[in-house]
Structure 1
């Protein structure tokens, strides 16, 4: 079953207050070890979604191409959305946020420059093997920092719905400040990337 079209909305710069998502459709009980599905997990167990079978009929933001792999409609996933993101060389997205969803971006190829904040006044960069965490309602922008290579990422969100609230009226700051992530559990651990230009 193909995904239904998912809404890409525009909003003012001020994020709305968090709301509990409505669930008007009764959900069937999930199978358990004591209550296995009728097919003995054959089709309702592990599912492998081929890379050439992703669905581009999902919420989009100008400047990037999202493709869905794991959604409720495609796999029955109730608490996750997963897919891919591609940003072309020397391109950037518009400012947006993802409502009440948390997002994780894993960099596969290329170099990402993230901007975030009420005026996109903060920035940081990430390369292959790096993870990016985006909390709910944070205005942000993804930028391909390379002029000759596509930026390719894997994207995971904390709900089965795809929300992209575009912020066309947001005016970005001219000189964003670089922010260095500090591990709150182990202090500032050393890493392989050269971020000598970063500021705490």
Structure 2
């Protein structure tokens, strides 16, 4: 570690004040650590799913990426949707994820702990917790900071979304 105003070799920097400003900028605008117990639940929520933001514009100034977590209740299913031009990556921490996709959701794949799921832009899909009794925990990363969800009610889901109560602090169980 070096003192403000010194070069890395310990010699005084000829532009001490500029260097001090640069150090302060890097300290506050450089690498950020977001503790896992300080994620932001003020995100778009879906019945049966609880999303929390770790990385976004409001929290760290991210311009082209969003990252956070999602906890999905047992047997919870989304409706059919896509995320516009966004690319999404889902990392399964625990539980079993089932993804259905295609023009009629004719394709299906499952993923377990340690697996990654890639969802390309504009792909109609449905996210499902494949377990009827265990929660599913994932890390989610999207290629933009704006949440884009285009619901596709004209596509009949193979697995009907269940009526699952909202589980975020704003919406209470009926």
CA root-mean-square deviation: 1.8
Q: Which has the higher helix share?
A: 2
> Residues 76-87 of structure 1: matches in 2 within 5 Å?
76-87=61-72
Deviation at 1:164, TM superposition (A): 1.8
Q: Which runs of 5+ in 1 are unaligned?
A: 1-35, 175-200
Deviation at 1:37, TM superposition (A): 4.8
- Of residues 124, 131, 144 in structure 2, which corresponds to 1:146? 131
Whether contact under 8 Å (1:112, 1:142) holds in the other structure is yes
- Of residues 72, 75, 81 in structure 2, which corresponds to 1:96? 81
Deviation at 1:173, TM superposition (A): 4.4
Q: Which runs of 5+ in 2 are unaligned?
A: 1-20, 160-174
Give the number of the structure whose alpha-carbon radius of gyration is greater. Answer: 2
Q: 1:110 to 1:40 in 2, by over 3 A?
A: same
Count of aligned pairs: 139
- Secondary structure of 1:99's aligned partner: coil
Whether contact under 8 Å (1:61, 1:166) holds in the other structure is no
Deviation at 1:49, TM superposition (A): 1.0
Please list the CA deviations of residues 56-99 of structure 1 after superposition, one character each: whole Å capped at 9, or x if unmatched: 22233343221111001110111111001111112211211111
Q: Does 1:47 align with 2:20?
A: no
Cross-structure match for 2:166: none
Please report the TM-score for the alignment, with normalisation by the length of structure 1: 0.64
Cross-structure match for 1:166: 151
Cross-structure match for 1:129: 114
Deviation at 1:100, TM superposition (A): 0.7
Partners of 1:158 and 1:105 in 2: CA distance: 12
Cross-structure match for 1:70: 55
Whether contact under 8 Å (1:95, 1:167) holds in the other structure is yes
Please report the TM-score for the alignment, with normalisation by the length of structure 2: 0.73
